[in-house]
Amino acid sequence: MALGLASLFSDAGHEAATAVLPLFLASIGGSAASLGLIEGVADALSTGAKLLSGWFSDGLEHRKPVGTLGYATTGLGIAGLAVAFTPLQVLIVRAFCWFGRGARGPVRDAMLAEAVPPWTYGRAFGFHRAMDTAGAVVGPLIALALVGRVGFRTIFAVTLIPGILSVIAFASVREHAQARTRSTLGQSLRELPGSFRGFLLAVGIFGLGDFARSLLVLRASQLSNASTAISTTLFAVALYVLHNLAHALSAYGFGVLGTYLGGRRVLVGGYVLFAVMSFGFAILPAHPPLVVLVGLFILAGLSLSAEEVLEGTVAADLLPERLLGTGYGALAAVNGIGDFAASAIVGALWAGASPTAGFAYAGVMGLAGAIALARLG
């Protein structure tokens, strides 16, 4: 429960900032390409933190101090957007924040896998993701309540409150000491099972199209028929709230489905949902019906739930306990590299050609990842 509360509070702060970040960036001279680059670079810079923190925690009696530091860095980084005045400064602050998110993720997932029996992995990861995403619903609602009443910088500053609460919650987790021996990073990576390496390849292919969802907020604001900047902002943020609500409500269900139908099989379906959503955004007309936008944002939330819940579940099934941290670090690193490439490529295609080109590319990679995952033995 404490792990879930930590994620709930942290995501509330993070998502409140993410909901208005594209619009804030546009207000200080940023473009779709700069947004894609900022999100991609931040993800890429966190990749090293993900891999190193997971491996490092495999040699510690207690993983909790590493995770606590990661939550603290994340909270400070999000609030730090309040003092960014140029796209470059946004990139620097976002990278600092993502370093903390990178460091804490594999440690938290390893602690969760160690805390439950193997036959409950799907439900445990589903419940945790549901708590995490409840924060992702609360965060945009906070932003929605504040937009038009206070400036973007005040919204960023307010996120410090849930950031502090997340640190307190994670620090309260009870973790039993375990005697562990440390191998070198290279040796630990070489010892990862072949089946897990194949899984990483499929995840990496999919990740090359798995763009930052903040690009959807920007696209929705462009497609809005709203007549003022504030109403356009409210429209885009409201759709993002819907996206996160779909994410939160479906997370536990995907975990249960993974338990009974097989995590890999359900994850393939999640990848296909992502591809359908991406192709849907690629063919949208200039002024699409509201019901179509609502449906696509719901699909985006469902696909994200399947991805986040079931990648962790499949990894837990494939990894030996002594390599949990390293394995989750490698998984997070592969996702980080993919996020960098996907966000940068989709943003560049959007700016250089059209939004259709960017989203169509994402859809193709989503299908390729689903096929690669389905073909694993």
In a domain, 101, yes or no: yes
Rounded to whole angstroms, the Cα distance separating 53 from 99 reads 10
Mean pLDDT, residues 97-107 taken together: 83
- pLDDT at residue 2 tops 80: no
- Cβ-based burial of 231 (10 A; exposed 0-12, middle 13-18, buried ≥19): middle
In a domain, 177, yes or no: no
Mean pLDDT, residues 126-143 taken together: 81
> Which of 18-32, 35-49, 265-279 is modeled with the greatest confidence?
265-279
Looking at residue 177, its pLDDT comes to: 62
The answer to whether the beta carbons of residues 80 and 96 sit under 8 Å apart is yes
Rounded to whole angstroms, the Cα distance separating 294 from 235 reads 11
Rounded to whole angstroms, the Cα distance separating 284 from 223 reads 9
Q: Is 29 left (phi over 0), alpha (psi -120 to 50) or beta?
A: left
**CATH number, domain containing residue 135:** 1.20.1250.20
Given pLDDT bands bounded at 50, 70 and 90, which one contains residue 371?
A: very high
In a domain, 20, yes or no: yes
Given pLDDT bands bounded at 50, 70 and 90, which one contains residue 252?
A: confident
The answer to whether the beta carbons of residues 329 and 275 sit under 8 Å apart is no
Looking at residue 181, its pLDDT comes to: 67
> Which of 49-63, 80-94, 356-370 is modeled with the greatest confidence?
356-370
pLDDT, greater one: 238 or 153: 153
The mean-pLDDT minimum among 27-41, 113-127, 275-289, 293-307 falls in: 27-41
- pLDDT at residue 63 tops 80: yes
Amino acid letter for position 114: E
The answer to whether the beta carbons of residues 274 and 329 sit under 8 Å apart is no
pLDDT digits (tens, 9 = 90+) for 290-344: 889 899 999 999 999 999 889 988 998 899 888 888 999 899 889 878 877 898 8
Instruction: Count Cα neighbours of 374 within 13 Å in the Cβ-side half-sphere.
Output: 12
- pLDDT at residue 227 tops 60: no
In a domain, 184, yes or no: no
Range of the domain at 29: 2-169+190-374
Mean pLDDT, residues 142-165 taken together: 89
- pLDDT at residue 228 tops 50: no
Close Cβ partners of 361 (under 8 Å, ≥ 6 residues apart): 209, 345, 346, 349
- pLDDT at residue 47 tops 70: yes
pLDDT digits (tens, 9 = 90+) for 177-210: 676 666 788 888 899 999 999 999 999 999 999 9
Q: How many domains does the chain have?
A: 1
Rounded to whole angstroms, the Cα distance separating 226 from 20 reads 17
In a domain, 178, yes or no: no
The answer to whether the beta carbons of residues 169 and 9 sit under 8 Å apart is yes
In a domain, 278, yes or no: yes
In a domain, 180, yes or no: no
In a domain, 182, yes or no: no
The mean-pLDDT minimum among 11-20, 173-182, 234-243 falls in: 173-182
